[in-house]
Amino acid sequence: MKRYSAFAIAREATRYHSGWERAWRAPEPKSKYDVIIIGAGGHGLATAYYLGKNFGITNVAIIEKGWLGGGNTGRNTTIIRSNYLQDPSAALYEKSRSLYETMSQDLNYNVMFSPRGVIMLAQTQHEIRGYQRTAHANALQGVQTEWISPAKVKELCPIINLDGPRYPVLGGLWQARGGTARHDAVAWGYARACSDMGMDVIQKCEVTAIRRVGGKVVGVDTTKGAIDCDKLGIVVAGHSGDLAQMAGFRLPLESVALQALVSEPIKPAMDVVIMANTVHGYLSQSDKGEMVIGGGTDGYNNYTQRGSFHHVEETVRALNETFPMLSRLKMLRQWGGIVDVTGDRSPMLSKTPVDGVFINCGWGTGGFKAIPGSGWAMAELMAKGHSPLTDAFGMERYIEGRFIDESVAAGVAH
């Protein structure tokens, strides 16, 4: 792989840019791999990458039904933060956030990580208490966050209206080192690095069956033929239930649609990320200038990648009150992604009842921020059978009643 650098740009400028290589190969599947990862989204690719980088396991295929990063990796609002209440979540998300800081250098691919800071607005008395508690918890966990006053919120985000009649801004939880990154670049960067290590990223290849012998996985059947493997990682977000059924077990998951939308591009107006959980809206401005707006989920099971219009309306109406200037903007695009929501709203990184099958799912409405940390932890789990980061996230926690109760801690947007 030729490295990207300022020198490479200069070199190619002298020869009409004829020397750029394909970023990753497009191979046909081999008959056998040590590890197969189903799902070439951020989490799947990151898992493969850290299997290679941290454990030297490079005989790996990443199989993708559609195209690389075409699911929720390409549909999120790119927010990165780690201000969680519970210790296991804070550890995992903080690992992830710290990996984002060096990801561009690590992958030699510009993921445009922008640690611009994240404010979670408190707009009710309940949220004030909740976020102050989170700030104290974060201090103990070594996650840098602080409780800030409404005046400080206004200073960080001048376009905000503090005195909305229904939901005044009463303060916020500020994580200065949170921010955003370019979501597609994260998938592309990992894919390029995986391909460079000799792994096969196989797109347009749907898994149709998971073959087992004596309770152990031996391979998968796909639309490109049968492929054998020793270990299988299922990293398919909203479609986890489907794959689990193929492997013969059930999951405590429901798949629902989560929507987002962007406005027409405008001049820079806001250089922080704002999350307003009471009114189900979150907002940031992309480098192109679009205001990126995330909304809430529909309450019902859905695989259609489109959500209900009234949720868009609710989100926009609430944000208009807090950000009056948005009322003049036209919305350009709206889309939905299928997110897998667990009973306690925390993910599962887990062994499964089938020997050799591992599952990474349940990220619900907040998986993008977790991509590198999730891949790091999942790789360790798959290579060594256990990881300190994933111990609390096993699927057995539901039967044991040992929840990681972030749905209470973090509200809806998560």
Partner 1 sequence: MLILTCPCCGVTAEETEFHAGGEAHLKRFGPGSDNADFENYLFMRENPKGVHFERWRHNNGCGKWFYAARCTMTLEVFGTYLAQTYEPPADLCAKISAKRPGWSWGRFS
Q: List interacting residues with partner 1 (CB under 8 A).
A: 241-242, 250-255, 298-304, 308-310, 342-343, 398-400
**What is the number of residues in the chain?**
414
Q: How far is the CB of 299 from partner 1 (least distance, A)?
A: 4
Tokens at 327, concatenated:
């009322």
Q: How far is the CB of 340 from partner 1 (least distance, A)?
A: 8
Is the CB of 254 or the CB of 380 nearer to partner 1? 254
Interatomic CA distance for residues 405 and 80, integer angstroms: 20
Contact 305, 338 (CB under 8 A): yes
Question: Alpha helix locations (H) across 20-60?
Answer: 42-55
Is the CB of 229 or the CB of 404 nearer to partner 1? 404
Q: How far is the CB of 245 from partner 1 (least distance, A)?
A: 9
| Nearest to 172, CA basis, from 223, 218, 131 | 131
Is the CB of 37 or the CB of 361 nearer to partner 1? 361
The amino acid that residue 48 corresponds to is A
Q: How far is the CB of 202 from partner 1 (least distance, A)?
A: 22
* Residues 6 or more apart whose Cβ sits within 8 Å of residue 248: 210, 212, 353, 354
Tokens at 131, concatenated:
């976020």
User: Residue 277 has what DSSP assignment?
Assistant: T
Is the CB of 21 or the CB of 400 nearer to partner 1? 400
Interatomic CA distance for residues 197 and 199, integer angstroms: 6
Q: How far is the CB of 280 from partner 1 (least distance, A)?
A: 15
Q: How far is the CB of 306 from partner 1 (least distance, A)?
A: 8
Is the CB of 229 or the CB of 339 nearer to partner 1? 339
Tokens at 235, concatenated:
């990293």
Phi, psi for residue 277 in degrees, rounded to 5 = -75, -30
Is the CB of 13 or the CB of 399 nearer to partner 1? 399
Interatomic CA distance for residues 307 and 299, integer angstroms: 10
